[in-house]
Amino acid sequence: MEYKASIIGRRREQEILQKCYDSDKAEFVAIYGRRRVGKTFLVKELFSDRFDFYASGIYQIAKDKQLSEFSRQIASYSGRKKTHPKNWFEAFDCLKEYLSTLKKERILVFIDELPWYDTPKSDFVRALESFWNMWGSTVKGLKLIVCGSATTWMTNKLLGDKGGLHNRVTRRIPLYPFNLYETEQYLRSAGFDWDRQQIMQCYMALGGTPYYLQMLDKDYSIMQNIDRLFFTMEGELRSEYDFLYRSLFNDAKLYTRVVELLASKLKGLTRKEIVSGLKIPDNQALTKVLENLCRCDFLRMYHPYAGKKKGALYQLSDMYSLFYLRFVGGNHVPNPHAWTLMRDQKRESWYGYAFEQVCLHHIEQIKRRLGISGIESDVSAWSYVPKNNDETGGQIDLVIQRADRVINLCEMKYSSAPFVIKTSYMEEMRVRRELFRSKTKTSYTLSLTVVSPYGVQGNKYAGDLGPVVTMDDLFASE
């Protein structure tokens, strides 16, 4: 197919949407993903000149006002006088009446921010169910596309509905933030002339959320942009944090408590440690919070090497939340030059941790560089806490165990120049490798793998390493 030049990436999603539009049958398409990820932009750029009806829910307004706006949109498209439906069943009847007058092979309906229509006691879901099951699903060529930023609502109430909407959605399209490759494409298309180190530093603070990238100013450096967006009184990303979580989750306070605890424990916590740290019950409510945060790409759940499910660790992985909570949250005195003037040591320390997170967001690119994209593999982390003073502990943040009986023990080191492996550091890596071999009892070949932006400076130890993964490798398309 011919891809829209104005849409960065999203090729698979464009293909799915176009196939749905071209099919002869009725299609009910649900697009979901975190706030600001570009769901509305994708649909509008692809189909805006073909909409037969478009409406969007409005955040936190009453049912009668939602109905009034929905009705106004029907009147706008139909050219008829606006009606005043008393409930959602009547509103969808009005929509059906209008759409029935269209004599077209394809009828395209786009309802954005669907969860915001579902106000308390509104019966919105049951009315949507009736509209689709009793009429929409029988109309050949009808395309109903719905979007929602409240991913938990979309997955639980729409996709996970146990009633009449069960399995009614014909296509599900999760939309994720950009990776480094797509972020670079976006910034290049917007006229930015930053090198890849600046783009990666941008990713460390904003992640790959298109809306946040849109806020950047190409006339400023990445450090100046971070100051402007986070550290000035009017900084747009200074006020984003609270609204981001409130707009996604009903009980936002519990969600942000979990997020903020994990932000203080960068390597992650077990469920038991979260319960202890927050002094909350270990119940179904916590299960829901953790599942929803993982679904919305705020948390990463992973298992320690050879670990059991009950030992799963939860780690805050959202780059924006990590940066905000580390440097902005609780700082009530804006300093418009805070990032530029920050001590190099403190900023470099952040880059070191954030680079590890960037690497964990680009596991597939790392595998490609290692030449193992087609080999089955498991990704985990490993640590050993000494049981007495005579033992040595160790930690490896990225372990890739491969079906060809090789394990890559990955060291992720941020540096603004080729990383120099000194004798002492090489010895540390060897000690960790042998500790891993001893404590895991593995018989696999252990390959020491370094991931560093500019690679490794050639010296006598370079030959002891497997393939070195560089920043350019992380920027590769999948």
Stated pTM of the model: 0.92
Do 323 and 334 lie in one domain? The reply is: no
Query: Is 166's pLDDT higher than 90?
Result: no
Do 189 and 158 lie in one domain? The reply is: no
279 is a domain residue: yes
What integer pLDDT is reported at residue 156 of this predicted model? 85
- Strands 445-451, 406-412: pairing is parallel
268 is a domain residue: yes
Round to whole Å and give the CA distance between 327 and 2.
43
What integer pLDDT is reported at residue 465 of this predicted model? 87
377 is a domain residue: yes
What integer pLDDT is reported at residue 87 of this predicted model? 97
Do 320 and 246 lie in one domain? The reply is: yes
Report which DSSP code applies to 82. P
Do 144 and 54 lie in one domain? The reply is: yes
Q: How many domains does the chain have?
A: 4
Round to whole Å and give the CA distance between 195 and 180.
12
Query: Is 331's pLDDT higher than 80?
Result: no
Question: Cα-flanking dihedrals φ and ψ of residue 409, to 5°?
Answer: -100, 105
What integer pLDDT is reported at residue 306 of this predicted model? 78
Strand ranges in 303-441 using DSSP code E only, listed in sequence order: 313-316, 377-384, 394-402, 406-412
Selection from 9, 409, 14 nearest residue 1 by Cα = 14
3 is a domain residue: no
Do 214 and 351 lie in one domain? The reply is: yes
CATH assignment of the domain containing 63: 3.40.50.300
Query: Is 309's pLDDT higher than 60?
Result: no
Burial class from Cβ neighbours inside 10 Å (0-12, 13-18, 19+) for residue 387 reads exposed
CB contact at 8 A, 455 and 468 = yes
Task: Give exposure, 36-70, as e/b (b: 16+ Cβ within 10 Å).
Answer: bbbbbbbbeebbeeebbbbbbbeeeeebeebbbeb
What integer pLDDT is reported at residue 134 of this predicted model? 96
Give pairs for 85-93: CB < 8 Å, separation 24+.
Answer: 87/122, 87/123, 87/127, 88/117, 88/122, 88/123, 88/124, 88/126, 88/127, 88/128, 89/123, 89/126, 89/127, 89/130, 91/67, 91/127, 92/127, 92/128, 92/130, 92/131
Query: Is 365's pLDDT higher than 70?
Result: yes
Tell me the sheet residues that pair with 315. 300
Do 208 and 60 lie in one domain? The reply is: no
Positive/negative CA dihedral, 460, 461, 467, 472: negative
Do 448 and 462 lie in one domain? The reply is: yes
CB contact at 8 A, 89 and 124 = no
What integer pLDDT is reported at residue 411 of this predicted model? 94
Tokens 């941020």 locate to 414
pLDDT band for 266, please (50, 70, 90 cuts). confident
Amino acid code (one letter) for 47: F
Do 299 and 396 lie in one domain? The reply is: no
406-412 β-sheet, strand order: 377-384, 394-402, 406-412, 445-451
What integer pLDDT is reported at residue 459 of this predicted model? 76
Do 245 and 345 lie in one domain? The reply is: no
pLDDT band for 332, please (50, 70, 90 cuts). low
Per residue in 187-231, pLDDT tens?
A: 999 999 999 999 999 999 999 999 999 999 999 999 999 999 999
Q: What is the mean pLDDT of residues 227-241?
A: 94
- Give the percent of the chain with pLDDT over 90: 79
Do 44 and 101 lie in one domain? The reply is: yes
Selection from 242, 243, 186, 256 nearest residue 215 by Cα = 186
Q: Which two tokens stand for residue 416?
A: 């603004």
Q: At what angle do helices 252-263 and 284-295 cross, to 10 degrees?
A: 70
Round to whole Å and give the CA distance between 145 and 13.
13
Query: Is 97's pLDDT higher than 60?
Result: yes
Query: Is 114's pLDDT higher than 90?
Result: yes
Please give the distance of CA 24 from its chain centroid, rounded to a whole number.
33
What integer pLDDT is reported at residue 310 of this predicted model? 56
Domain final position from 337, 357, 377: 357
Q: What is the mean pLDDT of residues 281-308?
A: 88
Positive/negative CA dihedral, 111, 116, 122, 123: positive
- Give the percent of the chain with pLDDT over 70: 99
Round to whole Å and give the CA distance between 459 and 137.
66
CATH assignment of the domain containing 435: 3.40.1350.10
- Mean pLDDT (the chain) is 93
Round to whole Å and give the CA distance between 170 and 94.
24
What integer pLDDT is reported at residue 325 of this predicted model? 95
Query: Is 308's pLDDT higher than 60?
Result: no
Query: Is 160's pLDDT higher than 90?
Result: no
6 is a domain residue: no
Per residue in 411-465, pLDDT tens?
A: 999 999 999 999 999 999 999 999 999 999 999 999 999 999 999 988 788 778 8
Question: Cα-flanking dihedrals φ and ψ of residue 334, to 5°?
Answer: -60, 140
37 is a domain residue: yes
304 is a domain residue: yes
CB contact at 8 A, 309 and 303 = yes
CB contact at 8 A, 111 and 73 = no
Please give the distance of CA 118 from its chain centroid, rounded to a whole number.
24
Positive/negative CA dihedral, 413, 416, 420, 424: negative
Round to whole Å and give the CA distance between 97 and 93.
6
Query: What is the domain range of residue 215?
Result: 180-238+329-357
Question: Cα-flanking dihedrals φ and ψ of residue 447, to 5°?
Answer: -110, 120
Do 343 and 275 lie in one domain? The reply is: no
Per residue in 32-85, pLDDT tens?
A: 988 889 999 999 999 988 999 999 999 989 999 999 999 999 999 999 999 999
5 is a domain residue: no
Of 178-192, 239-253, 294-308, 418-432, which gets the smallest average pLDDT?
294-308
Do 281 and 339 lie in one domain? The reply is: no
CATH assignment of the domain containing 317: 1.10.10.10
What percent of the chain is helix, strand and coil (3-state, nearest 5)?
45, 15, 40
Selection from 305, 331, 316, 317 nearest residue 238 by Cα = 331
Per residue in 380-403, pLDDT tens?
A: 999 888 888 778 889 998 999 999
DSSP three-state, residue 449: strand
Per residue in 11-44, pLDDT tens?
A: 999 999 999 999 999 999 999 988 889 999 999 9
Tokens 């050949």 locate to 140
